[in-house]
Structures are given as structure tokens and as C-alpha cells.
Amino acid sequence: MIYAGIIGSTGYAGAEIARLLAGHKDVEIKWLVSKSFTGQAYEDIYRNFFEIIEKECTDIDLADMAKTVDIIFTATPQGYLQGKLTKEILDDCRIIDMSADYRIKDVSVYEKWYGMEHHSPELLSEAVYGLTEINRDKIKDTRLLANPGCFTTCSILTAYPLMKEHMIEKDSLVINALSGVSGAGRGAKVANLFCEVNESAKAYGVTTHRHTPEIEEQLGYAYGENVTLQFTPHLVPMHRGILATETAKLKGSYSYDEIKAVYDKYYSGEKFIRVLKKDMCPETRFVEGSNYVDVNFKTDERTGNIILMGALDNLEKGAASQAVQNFNVMFGFPEDEGLDMIPMVP
């Protein structure tokens, strides 16, 4: 039995990790940490867990917790973990971090986009970026896993095969992505009230969204050179879901079958990445509540562009279920253990 703690357990991502771990036969949740709700029953905050998870929220320190569990999931704001984490803690316990603290290798890029100092840059080198399908081998042995962001996972996996194979102009990517509201978290902000968000759509973080350098870095690794791209996120009125629409210049004239073959080369063995049938566009509802990413593409002879499309559930493959997938790899369980959720429609 693996013992686990969750820090930031009352946010949406933290609660989803709790839900998945509660259904994972090899894991026992030992700590549900929440500063704001310390001392309260977890089932009173998330009443879906009534009579299912019967624990109190606590406020135990990271270092103390590390001595009592095998794995800690940190679903905490940017800056929390990098301000606390030490090699000593990692000697005690492995960590899966949902924040961006160890995702970006270049500390100056992190500090520029996140506007804060990084307090443990010496740990960056051992952190592994947790896109399971891409970095599976390195994930196995890491003590510090940087779980990717939701926009990022979707944007990267959608474009990865074509970047890897140099089939698109590397700096031509225009990524427009749509997000459900749960990505904005559970903080009490006017901007996320039902009456502010429902029945409306908007772009936000235009030219400045923090997932930009993360996407560029990873696609740069795929391409083998630095990549610059345009990423524009949007908020739409739904709970869950990321939909990425990526437009790129094709480097040549490829048939459907040629491009499909490239997707299959990388993804045909991947259970959780589904390359849809010809002409089918991914829809977020068809992956909701699951670890799947649905991807597809369409070329346009008129413009010489290819349109790539990807859909995932931002709280699952975009956060919690990918974290559990990485956990499974790290601890030697079957990769899909506890992740057998079939998307729920409607």
C-alpha cells in the first residue's frame, strides 16, 4: 500500500486527485492538507465524498508530512513548492507537483513569466516534466515530477508528432484554446461567479499567458530547436474541458494518409491518446471525466495550412488523472490503474 498526502486538497484539482486516489486500489490517502479548511471534515467541503472520504483537513508541514508518506501531490499555487522544497524532503518522499514551479528548465524564463523569484533552482535539473506519453522513461525514476498544465498538455500532444517530424514550420503555430471554468480554481473571485461567466465567451491573457513558454519549451525539445508560437486562451461557459485549435503552415504537401501515419507512429500504442477518424473534430464532452486526449487534424489546400485539434478534460488529463498516470509509472503500477473511467455523456 502506498501512502499519499495531498496539499491543496480543497481546490478543484486537489479534490479530483483525492477522488481518483480514493478509487485506486494500491493507495491510501493519509493527509488532506488545506490551510483554509483545517479542522473541517473533508466531506463537508465536498459533499460528494460524504461517507466516502471521512477525514479531516489538516495543516501539516511539507517536511513533516514527507516523513510519513510515499508520495505527496501538491495542488498548490505557483511559488509554494519552490519556496519550501529541499533535497532532504525529496530524500524522504517523492513529489508530484501540479504547479509550474519545476516545469520550466530555464529559471530566468520562469521568473520572467511568473514574476517571482525561484528559491530552489538547484532542484530543477532533477525535475521531470510529466507528459507521460513523451517522457515515460524519465518519469519512472524521478523523485520530483512537474505535472504539466492543462492548456499545455492539450497543446503539446496535439502538435507533437508533426513537430517531431518537422512537417510544419516551427514558428508558424497559432494556438487558440478554449477552457472550462474549473481551470480558474475555487477562489472566491467576482470574475468566476456564475453570473459573470455563464452565457459569455472571452479571450484572456492575450500574448502573456504563462502556459506559453511551457508549450514552447516542450515543442522545442520535439523539434530540436527553439520554437516561438502564438497562444491565445479563451474562457467558455462549461465546467471542464480544454479544446485546442492549432493552425500551422505545412512544410510540404502531405496526404491525409501520410499525416495520419505520423500520428499513428507516436500514438497508436497509447491508450489515452485517441487519434479520431477522418473528419471528426474532437469535442470536450467525449473525454469528460476521463484521462483521454482526443486529437485530429485537417489540411487546407487553399491556404497551405493544417489545422490541428485536441480535446481533454482539464481536471483529468490536464491535471489530476495525468498526475495519477505519472504516479503509476513512478511506482511501477500498470499505467492505467485507477484510471479506467469511460467518458460520461451527457
Is position 109 an interface residue for its own copies (rule: CB under 8 A)? no
Is position 345 an interface residue for its own copies (rule: CB under 8 A)? yes
Contacts of 305 (CB under 8 A, 6+ apart): 247, 248, 249, 250, 299
Is position 340 an interface residue for its own copies (rule: CB under 8 A)? yes
Contact between residue 70 and residue 60 where contact means Cβ atoms under 8 Å apart = no
In the bound complex, what is the minimum distance in angstroms from residue 120's beta carbon to its own copies? 27
d(CA 243, CA 44): 32
Is position 343 an interface residue for its own copies (rule: CB under 8 A)? yes
Q: How far apart are the first and last CA of the chain?
A: 35
Contacts of 337 (CB under 8 A, 6+ apart): 24, 25, 26, 328
Please indicate whether residue 150 is annotated as part of the active site: yes
In the bound complex, what is the minimum distance in angstroms from residue 230's beta carbon to its own copies? 5
In the bound complex, what is the minimum distance in angstroms from residue 272's beta carbon to its own copies? 10
Is position 23 an interface residue for its own copies (rule: CB under 8 A)? yes
Q: Which run of H or of E encompasses 274? A: strand 273-275
- Of the candidates 93, 150, 154, 195, the residue annotated as catalytic is 150
Is position 19 an interface residue for its own copies (rule: CB under 8 A)? yes
Distance of CA 143 to the CA centre of its chain: 18
CA-nearest of 302, 274, 296, 280 to 162 is 296
Is position 238 an interface residue for its own copies (rule: CB under 8 A)? yes
Angle 127-90-185 from CA coordinates, rounded to 5° = 65
CA atoms within 13 A on the CB side of 64: 8
d(CA 214, CA 155): 10
Nearer to its own copies, 62 or 293 (CB): 293
Contacts of 206 (CB under 8 A, 6+ apart): 232
Is position 176 an interface residue for its own copies (rule: CB under 8 A)? yes
Phi and psi at residue 275, to the nearest 5°: -85, 115
Is position 91 an interface residue for its own copies (rule: CB under 8 A)? no
d(CA 53, CA 314): 23
In the bound complex, what is the minimum distance in angstroms from residue 86's beta carbon to its own copies? 33
Q: Which stretch binds its own copies (CB under 8 A): 66-74, 99-107, 152-160, 199-207?
A: 199-207
d(CA 334, CA 327): 10
Q: Which stretch binds its own copies (CB under 8 A): 68-76, 137-145, 156-164, 179-187?
A: 179-187
Is position 147 an interface residue for its own copies (rule: CB under 8 A)? no
Q: 48-67: which residues touch its own copies (CB under 8 A)?
A: 48-52
In the bound complex, what is the minimum distance in angstroms from residue 145's beta carbon to its own copies? 24
Q: 265-304: which residues touch its own copies (CB under 8 A)?
A: 274, 276-277, 280-290, 294, 298-300, 302-303
Is position 164 an interface residue for its own copies (rule: CB under 8 A)? no
Is position 151 an interface residue for its own copies (rule: CB under 8 A)? no
> Which of 28, 35, 40, 47 is close enough to bind its own copies by CB under 8 A?
47
Q: Which stretch binds its own copies (CB under 8 A): 72-80, 117-125, 226-234, 326-334?
A: 226-234
> Which of 174, 260, 331, 336 is close enough to bind its own copies by CB under 8 A?
174
Q: Which three cell numbers stand for residue 199?
A: 452565457
In the bound complex, what is the minimum distance in angstroms from residue 89's beta carbon to its own copies? 30
In the bound complex, what is the minimum distance in angstroms from residue 128's beta carbon to its own copies? 27
Residue 270: what residue type? E
d(CA 14, CA 143): 20
Q: Give the number of other Cβ atoms within 10 Å of residue 123's Cβ.
A: 21
Is position 116 an interface residue for its own copies (rule: CB under 8 A)? no
Is position 46 an interface residue for its own copies (rule: CB under 8 A)? yes
d(CA 305, CA 252): 10
Nearer to its own copies, 84 or 234 (CB): 234
- Catalytically active residues are 150
